[in-house]
Structure formats: structure tokens, C-alpha cells
């Protein structure tokens, strides 16, 4: 694998005695650029003190405006990004890294020595060469940059995390520090326990694909074992869904197919979301795991760039977990629209995944059609009718004035059957 030599702002060259043309990132902006360049989601910044913790989330285009207030002791940055400003695994937007947190101080070894040994004996041999090493003031974090995965691929990604941990546990790898919402220390800040400054070492800037790492280093993790069938927890013979819930599921699944058709199968950027939703809704509707898989794979095959079958099954496996959980998976239309990137024009063709504006537009059309069915006239017809009626009244008023030349305006209004102000307007027009 070729290594790019383009440096990142705020860095200086590192010792390359192990054969790596690496360089040091000594400040937060350089680390952010390396980790999160072109990240579309929210990036979490975290700070820890004796009195508690604080946390905030920023988009990539705004984070550098605020980073200075986070460059204080014991400050951290998320390795992955989030859909909304909540640092939760269930809220992941993109998985952009794999990583291992090595507490080498627990085995009496310095981070510098650990890094040296790993470069010499492990990187590119037993494990892929990490992009970044974070010297955290006591331990060492290994970070691999990935071509972004959907947040729904967390279970598949977790198998890679576990494989990396197993390979590194003899060096003091921390099993608990392997969740996708993990934060690591920010370069240029101080570790209050060791009083040492945090810095990063970049070994290369190429991003790995998930398949590249798995195929070259951990092929066993893609092998699947057949699980024994689970007994259905739900009582047979009971009505599972209300009729309106059933029709809503059918309509939402239909909308997924319609959306794919409208885009000619070009669902890049939201494939995993669409397939997860399809599998979960099909499972909820049919109570059959096999039928849900089939429905999801059928939708996948309609995409112009479908996922490989094993990837599609792995990335949507969480649908079964949500279905079997105690709490149902609930999602608002606004979230669905953002997940799937549905435009206002596309919503006009969908049955139920629509926002409040489209709902109001449809209600307005419905009320208009209803009035028409009930005999209400179009505005142009109504205006024409009013003109005819007004012309007739003006003619009647001329006759009344001739027949009752001494009648007062109030008397004329009574004879014509209109209000006095209306009569006065008519009289003005007759002049």
C-alpha cells in the first residue's frame, strides 16, 4: 500500500527509525482535519474535570471556530460522527474509524516503546498499519481510517473491533474502549494524570475499505455460523397489529420501493437505512425472519449499486434485535425524510413518508375536491355568478327608483333585499 506524504497543518516530522515516513500532529486542528475531513455528521467534543463532564457537538464546518475552548486538560474528540447531537451508538451517522485503546502502562511499558515494537513487528504483518497513533499521555490509541460505513453497520464493524482487540490484548488493549461512540484525547491537550501533552503520529493518510482489512487480515470474521432457531416469544393466535398499523407498514414499505423507482435505483448514501427499515417493517408486518430477509434483499437488488448479500444481511441484522426487544422501534417521518434524503418533489409521490408541508398541501387539495363534489363552484364560476347577480340587482334598483321616486334609501334597500351599505354602493354605480 502506497503512503501519501502530504502533510497536515500543525505537524512536524517524526523519527522514522522503524522505516515509517511518519509525522507528528501536535495540535487539535491537525487532528480534526485528519479524522473528520468532509464528515457530514455531528462530531462530539468531551471534557472531563473533577466536578463532572461537559459535552457538545459540532458539524465539521463549524468545529474549528470553537475548538480553542476545548483545548484544555482532559479533552476528547469522537472517532465517528452522529446523526443528531447525541453521542450514542444508536445515533451513529457514519463509522469512519476502527481503533484500539492500549493501556500499556498497565503492563509496565511506555507508549513510545509500545509504538516502536508494534511498528517493527506487527504493522502490515499481523494487523493493518494504522493511520494514526495517539499518544495519550499514558497509553496509546491505534486508529484506522475507514471508507465511511453507515451507522447501521455497527454489528459488522464490531466484529472487526473484536478481532483487533484480540490481536492487541497482550499489549494491554482495553476491551471496554471499543464501542463506536468512543472518544479519544485531543492533540495539544494535557493528560492531568501524567501531566504530559497529547500528540498524534500519522503513519499514512490512505483510507481502508472494510473488506480490504477483513480480507487481508481477518477473513474468519466474515464466516457465519448457523444459529439454532429461536422459539417465537409471541403468542400464536392473537391479533398482533391494529388495522391502521398494518396499513401504515404496507404503505411505508411501498414508499421505499417507490423512492427507489423515482431515483432509478440510485440510493447511494442511504442504502443501509432503506434496507434496515425494509427488514424491520417486513418483520413487524409478517412476523417471519425469512420473509423479512427476502423483502430486504429484493429491495437491495433494485438498487443501481446493491450491497453484497452478506453485507446487506449483516448491516440490517439489528432489525431483528429491535423487533425482539421490549420497546418497539419508533421513528418520526422527519427522521425518515432526513435519513433517506427525500425531497419535497419526491414526497408528492409517496403515500405516508411526508412532512407537515406536504400533509397540508394534500389536505388543501382534498378539501377543494370535497367542496367541488358537494356542488361548490370554482372561484372563477363564483365570480361570474356574482357579476350576473349584481347586474340583475342594479337593473332591479333602476326599476324600483322609477316606481318609487320618493322612497328613502332604507326603503329601497328593504324592497331590493340588501343591506343599506350595499344599496349605497349600488346607487354610486348607477350615477
What does the alpha-carbon distance between residue 157 and residue 149 come to, in Å, rounded to a whole number?
9
Other beta carbons within 10 Å of 348: 12
Residue 385 has pLDDT above 70, yes or no: yes
Residues 324 and 402 grouped into a single domain: no
Residues 179 and 320 grouped into a single domain: no
Residues 296 and 323 grouped into a single domain: yes
Q: Is residue 108 part of a domain?
A: yes
Residue 280 · residue 325 · CB < 8 Å: no
Q: Which residue has the cell 499489549?
A: 171
Residue 126 has pLDDT above 80, yes or no: yes
Q: Of 181-190, 219-228, 335-344, give the lowest mean pLDDT range.
A: 219-228
Domain coverage including residue 409: 389-430
pLDDT tens track for 188-216: 999 999 999 999 999 999 999 999 999 99
Residues 30 and 132 grouped into a single domain: yes
Residue 1 · residue 206 · CB < 8 Å: yes
For 134-159, what is the mean pLDDT?
93
Residues 195 and 65 grouped into a single domain: yes
Q: With a threshold of 0.85, does the pTM exceed it?
A: no
End residue of a domain, out of 222, 254, 274? 222
pLDDT tens track for 58-100: 999 999 899 988 989 999 999 999 988 989 888 888 999 999 9
Burial class (CB in 10 A: 0-12, 13-18, 19+), 61: exposed
Residue 393 has pLDDT above 90, yes or no: no
- Structure confidence at residue 104 as a pLDDT band (50, 70, 90): very high
pLDDT tens track for 48-60: 988 889 999 999 9
Q: Is residue 4 part of a domain?
A: no
Q: What integer best gives the mean pLDDT of the chain?
A: 86
Q: Is residue 2 part of a domain?
A: no
- Structure confidence at residue 153 as a pLDDT band (50, 70, 90): confident
Please, which residues bridge with residue 46 across strands?
55, 76
Q: Is residue 405 part of a domain?
A: yes
Residues 149 and 27 grouped into a single domain: yes
End residue of a domain, out of 324, 344, 372? 372
**pLDDT the model gives residue 322:** 83
Number of domains within the chain: 3
Residues 32 and 151 grouped into a single domain: yes
Residues 93 and 205 grouped into a single domain: yes
Amino acid at each position: 500500500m502506497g503512503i501519501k506524504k502530504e502533510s497536515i497543518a500543525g505537524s512536524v516530522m517524526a523519527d522514522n527509525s522503524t522505516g515509517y515516513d511518519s509525522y507528528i500532529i501536535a495540535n487539535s486542528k491537525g487532528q480534526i482535519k485528519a479524522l473528520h475531513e468532509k464528515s457530514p455528521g455531528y462530531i462530539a467534543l468531551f471534557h472531563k474535570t473533577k466536578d463532572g463532564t461537559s459535552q457538545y457537538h459540532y458539524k465539521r464546518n463549524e468545529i474549528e471556530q470553537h475548538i480553542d475552548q476545548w483545548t484544555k486538560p482532559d479533552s476528547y474528540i469522537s472517532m465517528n460522527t452522529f446523526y443528531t447531537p447525541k453521542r450514542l451508538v444508536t445515533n451513529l451517522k457514519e463509522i469512519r474509524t476502527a481503533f484500539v485503546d492500549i493501556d500499556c502502562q498497565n503492563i509496565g511499558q511506555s507508549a513510545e516503546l509500545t509504538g516502536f515494537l508494534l511498528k517493527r513487528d506487527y504493522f502490515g504483518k499481523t494487523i493493518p498499519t494504522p493511520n494514526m497513533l495517539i499518544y495519550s499521555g499514558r497509553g496509546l490509541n491505534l486508529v484506522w481510517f475507514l471508507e465511511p460505513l453507515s451507522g447501521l453497520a455497527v454489528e459488522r464493524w464490531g466484529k472487526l473491533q473484536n478481532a483487533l482487540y484480540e490481536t492487541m490484548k497482550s499489549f494491554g488493549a482495553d476491551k471496554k474502549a471499543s464501542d463506536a461512540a468512543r472518544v479519544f484525547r485531543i492533540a495539544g491537550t494535557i493528560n492531568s494524570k501524567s501531566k504530559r501533552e497529547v500528540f498524534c503520529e500519522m503513519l499514512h493518510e490512505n483510507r481502508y475499505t472494510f473488506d480490504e482489512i477483513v480480507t487481508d487480515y481477518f477473513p474468519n470474521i466474515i464466516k457465519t455460523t448457523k444459529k439454532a432457531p429461536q422459539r417465537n416469544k409471541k403468542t400464536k393466535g392473537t391479533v398482533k397489529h391494529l388495522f391502521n398499523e398494518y396499513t401504515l407498514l404496507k404503505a411505508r414499505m411501498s414508499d421505499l420501493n417507490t423512492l427507489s423507482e423515482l431515483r432509478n435505483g440510485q440510493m447511494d448514501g442511504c442504502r443501509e437505512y432503506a434496507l434496515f427499515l425494509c427488514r424491520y417493517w417486513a418483520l413487524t408486518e409478517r412476523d417471519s425472519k425469512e420473509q423479512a430477509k427476502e423483502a430486504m434483499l429484493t429491495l437491495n437488488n433494485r438498487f443501481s449499486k446493491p450491497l453484497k448479500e452478506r453485507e446487506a444481511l449483516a448491516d440490517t441484522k439489528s432489525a431483528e434485535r429491535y423487533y425482539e426487544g421490549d420497546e418497539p422501534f419508533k421513528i418520526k417521518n422527519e427522521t425518515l425524510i432526513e435519513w433517506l434524503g427525500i425531497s419535497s418533489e419526491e414526497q408528492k409521490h409517496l403515500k405516508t413518508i411526508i412532512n407537515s408541508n406536504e400533509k397540508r398541501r394534500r389536505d388543501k387539495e382534498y378539501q377543494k375536491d370535497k367542496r367541488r363534489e358537494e356542488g361548490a363552484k370554482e372561484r372563477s364560476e363564483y365570480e361570474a355568478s356574482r357579476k350576473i347577480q349584481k347586474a340583475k340587482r342594479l337593473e332591479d334598483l333602476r326599476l324600483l327608483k322609477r316606481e318609487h321616486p320618493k322612497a328613502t334609501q332604507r326603503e329601497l334597500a328593504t324592497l331590493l333585499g340588501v343591506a343599506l351599505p350595499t344599496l349605497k354602493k349600488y346607487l354610486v354605480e348607477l350615477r
